[in-house]
Amino acid sequence: MFETLKARPADGILALMQMFKDDPRDNKIDLGVGVYKDATGLTPIMRAVKAAEHTLWETQDSKVYTGLAGDPAFSDAMVALVLGSAVPRDAVASVATPGGTGAVRQAFELIRMARPDARVFVSDPTWPNHVSILNYLGMEVVRYRYFDSETRGVDFDGMMADLKTARAGDVILLHGCCHNPTGANLNLTEWQAVVETLLETGAVPMIDIAYQGFGDGLEEDAAGTRLVASSVPECLIAASCSKNFGIYRERTGILMAVSANKGARKLHQDTLAFLNRQNYSFPPDHGARLVTMILTDESLRADWQAELEDVRLSMLTLRQHLADELQQLSGSDRFGFLAQHRGMFSLLGTTPDRVQALREQNGIYMVGDSRMNIAGLNAQTVPILARAIVDVGV
Ligand code: LMR
């Protein structure tokens, strides 16, 4: 039977990881996959995570199953981290999932189950795996304008015009902060305008928030998500702990369904648990337990927040350094957007040919759409990248 299988197109981000590994050059620079790296190129285990793991090793006396929704304490801690006090706790149904991608997948399945004809509006561009999963599930994808290739900021007028074409029951997928792949984000006034359009059209927002704490700060990065969740009748939120806790391979994420209709919470909770049971039964617990321990212990939490803030500031410094170098080398301000973008990524906004030239001539690896992982740089490689960008004619 397996001879009927067809080859699938390789995932661009993961294929690039392999190409980088296979490149023998010593001076190669990895700006590909979205993992944080320090100045030495290491993706460190955060101090609070190490400390929590130590305590867990000493105190955990059973690995028996948790609940289908995961440990309720994880849900409580994550709902508070993402939503603060924006909505009452009993307005939120939630399940732990294998990573943020697990939450995205469960959210799409929930949408398809509730409304098989729903169209899902995604930003143009968006994280390619959003579209890949939607296609895999046979769901209709509509792209809304997002990135302005001139300013490298948000094409907000285009975005709003496209969102207004949504119908009641369609879904609008938004990035909570640190937009992947562009790095261009909405300000709070723009979030408010999005909320008004959602209320006018009756479309349902789904927010993917995978980089809370990497942009302007933990609270600031959640502000758009909180505004939406507290303003609309229903919303879905997929949150990842991979990046802000640095626990990528532990696969730790959460899906939240927020509803103003309190009577609906049990049905939502039961449906989310059902979806977990169908797809993988109990969600992974190790990473979720570490996150819970950190968020509920005053000193672990303070240390985690301090380290996360260092990570955030180091990326901002690299952004400014790169923008300054490019300003000097090019004699123009056209790269100023790099210092305005937030999060791990910036879309350089150049052609695949130039991306290829940077890879082949300079050993600089960025995703084919010209997305750069800023955390892949350090003080030594910033000038090398700037020189190469100017030489290749961006
Ligand atoms: C990325 O966008 O590079 C990360 O989210 C990793 C991934 O799974 O694609």
- Per-residue pLDDT of 94-134, as tens digits, reads 999 999 999 999 999 999 999 999 999 999 999 999 999 99
Q: What 8-state DSSP symbol labels residue 39?
A: T
Mean pLDDT of 81-86: 98
Q: How far is the CA of 281 from the centre of ligand 1 (A)?
A: 24
Q: Give the torsion sign (CA, 299, 285, 53, 55).
A: positive
Q: What is the pLDDT of residues 362-378, one digit of tens each?
A: 999 999 999 999 999 99
Q: Domains in the chain and their CATH numbers?
A: 10-45+309-392 (3.90.1150.10), 65-296 (3.40.640.10)
Contact 222, 212 (CB under 8 A): yes
Other C-beta atoms lying within 10 Å of the C-beta of residue 250: 20
Ligand 1 pocket: which of 129, 132, 345 to mutate (most atoms within 8 A of CB): 129
Please tell me the total number of residues recorded for the chain in this structure: 394
pLDDT at 4: 96
Pick the residue whose CA is nearest to atom 5 on ligand 1: 34
pTM over 0.90: yes
Tell me the CA–centroid distance for residue 332 and ligand 1, in Å. Answer: 32
Question: C-alpha distances in angstroms, 15 versus 9, 99, 250, 302?
Answer: 10, 20, 22, 37
The pLDDT tens digits for 130-156 are: 999 999 999 999 999 999 999 999 999
pLDDT band at 173 (very low <50, low <70, confident <90, very high): very high
**pLDDT for position 295:** 98
Q: For residue 237, give both structure tokens.
A: 């939120």
What confidence tens digit (pLDDT) does each residue in 265-314 have? 999 999 999 999 999 999 999 999 999 999 999 999 999 999 999 999 99
Of the residues 18, 43, 127, which should be mutated to test ligand 1's pocket, given the most ligand atoms within 8 Å of the CB?
127
Q: Which residues contact 333 (CB under 8 A, 6 or more apart)?
A: 327
Query: What is the crossing angle of helices 286-296 and 47-59, to 10°?
Result: 110
Answer yes or no: is pLDDT of 9 > 90. no
- Residue 56: name the closest of 287, 299, 251, 284 by CA: 287
Provide the ipTM: 0.94
Cα(374)–Cα(31) distance, rounded to whole angstroms?
Answer: 7
Asked if residue 366 lies in contact with residue 358, where contact means CB atoms within 8 angstroms, the answer is yes
Contacts of 292 (CB under 8 A, 6+ apart): 71, 73, 74, 77
- Tell me which residues are annotated as active site: 127, 208, 210, 243
Q: How sure is the predictor about 21, in pLDDT bands with cuts at 50, 70 and 90?
A: very high
CA of 181 to the centre of ligand 1 (A): 9
Give 209 Cα–ligand 1 centroid separation in angstroms.
Answer: 13
Q: Check pocket membership of 34 for ligand 1, CB cut-off 6 A.
A: yes
> How many angstroms separate the CA atoms of 314 and 260, rounded?
39
Quick one: average pLDDT of 182-194? Answer: 98
State the Cα–Cα distance between residues 330 and 315, nearest whole angstrom. Answer: 22
Q: What is the largest CA-CA distance in the chain?
A: 63
Q: Whose CA is nearest to atom 4 of ligand 1?
A: 34
Give 16's contacts (C-beta < 8 A, 6+ positions apart).
32, 33, 365, 367, 368
What was the pLDDT predicted at 322? 98
Residue-averaged pLDDT of the chain:
97
Helix (H, G, I), strand (E, B) or coil at 93: strand
pLDDT of residue 262: 84
Cβ proximity of 372 and 31 under 8 Å: yes
Residue 254, SS3?
strand
